[in-house]
Amino acid sequence: MKRNLNYKPKLSRNISNRLLTLISGIFASIAVLPLVLVITYVLIKGGSLINLDLLILEPQPPGDDLENAGGIGNAIVGTFIMTGIASLISIPIGVGGGIYLSEYSKDGTFSRFIRFGTNVLSGVPSIISGVFVYAVIVVSKVIFGSMFSGIAGGIALSILMLPTVIKTTDEGLKLVPNDLRNASLGVGASMFTTIVYVTLPASFRSIATGVVLGLARAAGETAPLIFTALFSFYHITSFSDIFYEMSSLSVLIYNFALEPYEAQNELAWAASFVLVIILLGINIISRLISNLASEK
């Protein structure tokens, strides 16, 4: 047999090589397919239903009345309020915890336990945090005697956000070069001054990106809300309304998808459109900003 070093396409190892490459390419296209299908369907189906009334009005009670199904205005507002409450709780606590882990802790048992706990907490199913808040807050009426409320929903969401905020703060602060810290401590600044005026500002952008992504995830969650915030057909009219049932886009989609009437199903599609646009928008913008930041 004559030996040479030319590439022989018919060799079995070369054939199997090409075959495997082809298979992995097919797998990659299959992996991208659901996103394309879901997005196009939501955009076309939901987008065609969008009009100003729909974005402002309250939904009407279920019925087969295509003309007067109402809108999703209160659900949009509710989603923003509850995500806002969740951020008010989880961002200070999460950033504080992240500061402790990265700046103060010396890799002892306590900090390892907290890191471990953060990972475990981020793996707790979202419905469990709903069950927890239901048992602790809704049933006990601990918050000014209110039961199902926007506050309870916000707290349930904050449990989901907390691990994300801690992790991104911890990782963002770790990226700050130690020289900066040493310089600041060297000119006589206290730890507090160093953290607040030097390290936190230096890592602000990466922390903010992570927090915003966590926020976007919380805004799309449904499971923690279905028996903490429940649902409401009405706009909020005053501040005290956060102590009562509150609607959200995700719960509206869930409730109305299961209604037998087409009018409500269409509202569900419209709400999906709004939710997906908001979430994808946040995701893409925050990724762009963090990419721009890393290129500098």
Partner 1 sequence: MASNKDFLLRNRTRPEKIIDKGFKSLTVFMASMVAFVLISILLVVFFESTEAMARYGLKFLITSDWNPVTDQYGAFTAIYGTLITSLLSLVIAVPLGVGTAIFITENFIPESIKNIIGLMVELLAAIPSVVLGLWAVFVMEPFIRPFLSLLYKYLGWIPFLSTEPIGPGMAPAILILVVMILPIITSISRDSLNQVPFKLRQAAYGIGATRWTAIFNVILPAAISGITGGVLLALGRAMGETMAVTMIIGNSNNFSWSILSPGYTISAMLANQFGEADGSQVSSLMYAAFILMILTLIVNIFAQWIVKSLSLKY
Q: Which of residues 169-188 bind partner 1 (CB under 8 A)?
A: none
Give the footprint of partner 1 on residues 12-31 (CB under 8 A). 13-14, 16-17, 20-21, 23-25, 27-28, 30-31
- Candidates 68-76, 111-119, 174-182, 232-240: pick the segment binding partner 1 (CB under 8 A): 111-119
Q: Applying CB under 8 A, what is the total number of residues that bind partner 1?
A: 89
> Which of 50, 56, 93, 180 touches partner 1 by CB under 8 A?
93
In the region spanning residues 142 to 171, those forming contacts with partner 1, defined by CB under 8 A, are 159, 162-163, 166
Q: Which of 83, 129, 203, 247 binds partner 1 (CB under 8 A)?
A: 129
Q: Which of residues 257-276 bind partner 1 (CB under 8 A)?
A: 257-258, 265, 268-269, 272, 275-276
Nearer to partner 1, 25 or 177 (CB): 25
* Contacts (CB under 8 A) with partner 1, residues 35-54: 35-39, 41-42
Regarding 57 and contact with partner 1 (CB under 8 A), the answer is: no
Minimum distance of partner 1 from residue 46's CB (angstroms): 9
Residue 42 or 82 having the CB closest to partner 1: 42
Q: Of 57, 208, 220, 243, which lies in the binding site for partner 1, with binding defined by CB under 8 A?
A: 220
The residue range among 172-180, 198-206, 237-245, 251-259 that interacts with partner 1, by the rule CB under 8 A, is 251-259
Mapping DSSP onto H, E and C, the string for the chain reads CCCCCCCCCCCHHHHHHHHHHHHHHHHHHHHHHHHHHHHHHHHHHHHCCCCHHHHHCCECCCCCCCCCCECCHHHHHHHHHHHHHHHHHHHHHHHHHHHHHHHHCCCCHHHHHHHHHHHHHHHCCHHHHHHHHHHHHHCCCCCCCCCCCHHHHHHHHHHHHHHHHHHHHHHHHHCCCHHHHHHHHHCCCCHHHHHHHHHHHHCHHHHHHHHHHHHHHHHHCCCCCCCCCCCCCCCCCCHHHHHCCCCCHHHHHHHHHCCCCHHHHHHHHHHHHHHHHHHHHHHHHHHHHHHHHHHC
